[in-house]
Amino acid sequence: MSGYLKVLSRDGTWETQYAVVDGAKLQYWRRKEDTAAGAAPVKELDLQCATLREIGEPCTWSVQPDKAHATYLQAESEQRKDDWVNALRHYNSSATVAPKVCLNDFERVFVLGKGSYGKVYMVRKKDTGKTYAMKEMSAEKMKQAEIKTPLMERLILQEIDHPFIVHLHYSFQEGGYLYMILDLLGGGELFTYIENRAPLPEETGKYYAAEVATALGYLHSRNIIYRDLKPENVVFDQDGHACLTDFGLAKSNVHEENAVTYCGTNEYLAPELLKGVPHGKAVDWWSLGLMMCEMIFNELPFYDDNPVQMQTRILTEEVRFPKLKTPVSEPTKDLIRRLLEKDPKRRLQTLEEFKQHPCYADLDFDLLLQRQIPPPITPDSDPAHNFAPEFTNEVILPKEAPSQAVVMLAGYTYDKDSKEHEQACESARTLQLKKSTSGTANSTNSTSNNGSSRGSPAAANSKRLSLGNASNSSSTSGTAKQTSASAQGRKSENASSLKASPLGVRKNLIGGSTAHKPGK
């Protein structure tokens, strides 16, 4: 069988390819003419021991070769999809479709946060009793607001695996809503602790800056920039470790300074973003320097009520540190200055530079990554106490059936546990498929999408407003790790702004009220 299919790329776009089933292989080229010219295929999937999944989205299914990640495919019609699936199953007759995860698999316990496009809940999976954070977003509202990147966020989250980044477990669509099931980060947002305890002790600020730095270094090693680092997007797990959440503004495939979207949170924007020039990984290290100031000094050095004046200060003023009752060490001040260097080429911008700075001369980063160094903050053991009562006390109503045709996002469905289901059938499938494909040549495994998943946790309600181009970036601020009471202030502009913190609002450069002034 042969014909044109759409293949989901790693950047979240669908690319039309000419596909051919050849023996136990699925091959595809950019054009039909390339097959006649003898060109090598763009990609080749080995159907032996592969898993086929009809994922419940229009005209869409996935092929997951053994020990590889899934590739998502889309036909022009349901009939054509059925023809392709049947053709592929000829070489995979024993494949079992993994059970689909759905809303009914979870019990909603209480609300963690809410925003313009939906809510974030603490949920319990009925068959295992395990708790998660569930981010719920209205597909119709996101479509009306031209929010186009929940798929990009999901693709990034499924690719990453780090001890200080939230994990994505499932994503699915049902009744006109998009759902993400993420780690439940029960400790609350860093923003809350800054509001209630700042300035934090210097060693506490250094500890959490180090955990966040290792997460940034990991993302950058995979050519991903985060672009929205702020205390609202750093959420504590139940042990007190800091985790990055909310990847709505993240961008993948950034090798040099080739990102151009104007996005982020106004107080945390790097000079190169304000200048409108292409930017890269250095923007994240600038934001880390500001976050260290906010933790240790309870002040953002360039903040101003007037957004134009704040831009000017970011571009022209040098860092000045306020005097504290307990003096801050010179190495810590020097590190912050290095991170807040206005020229990105001179800025400290690698994890190795960060680790080698004298500020961290006594820290064992290997032990830190292994979570062997006790955190300085111990959250309340009850997650409900770490989030705003206005959310956690909200009555949860039964979901109503959609009143109109639901909006579906092809390629959004994801199941982290699918590998486990596949392994349960592996022996029988391998025996049967080897019989049906004996004599055919093996082909190389290839992958379009990753299966490991970490997600955006608790930032379902944020305080400072994130700016972004709705067509390129969206801050889906309802990360599954839980959004704490401090969510309502800063809000993600072109995403599912699921953050809402009663603690205060930081003014957005493109509009928004201000109730909280850093350092004031």
Bridge partners, 52 (sequence order): 63
Write phi, then psi, for 328 (nearest 5 degrees). Answer: -90, 140
**pTM of the entire predicted model:** 0.70
Residue 517 labeled ligand binder = no
% pLDDT > 70, the chain: 73
Q: What is the pLDDT of residues 178-198, one digit of tens each?
A: 999 999 999 999 998 999 988
Beta-bridge mates of residue 6: 16, 74
Q: How far apart are CA 26 and CA 43, in angstroms?
A: 8
Residue of 46, 183, 228, 284 marked active site: 228
Q: What is the pLDDT of residue 516?
A: 39
Q: What is the pLDDT of residue 210?
A: 98
Q: What is the pLDDT of residue 98?
A: 55
Q: Which helix (H) or strand (E) holds 131?
A: strand 131-138
Residue 261, pLDDT score? 67
Average pLDDT over residues 489-504: 35
Tens digits of residue pLDDT in 112-161: 887 778 899 999 999 999 999 999 988 888 777 767 667 788 889 988 99
- Closest listed residue to residue 247, CA positions, set 28, 478, 490, 406: 478
Mean of pLDDT values over 205-216 = 98
**Which domains, and CATH codes, for the chain?**
2-93 (2.30.29.30), 103-184+394-419 (3.30.200.20), 189-379 (1.10.510.10)
Nearest Cα residue to 278 out of 304, 259, 250, 302: 259
Residue 506 clears pLDDT 50, i.e. is over it: no
Q: In which region does residue 38 sit, left (phi positive, over 0), alpha (psi from -120 to 50) or beta (all else)?
A: left
- Residue pLDDT, tens place only, 273-293: 888 888 889 999 999 999 999
Task: Give the 3-state secondary structure of 460-474.
Answer: CCCCECEECCCCCCC
Long-range contacts of 209-213 (CB under 8 A, 24+ apart): 209/288, 209/291, 209/292, 209/295, 210/354, 210/360, 210/363, 210/365, 210/368, 211/164, 211/241, 211/242, 211/368, 212/164, 212/242, 212/244, 212/288, 212/291, 213/288, 213/351, 213/354, 213/355
pLDDT of residue 388: 83
Q: State yes or no: is 334 an active-site residue.
A: no
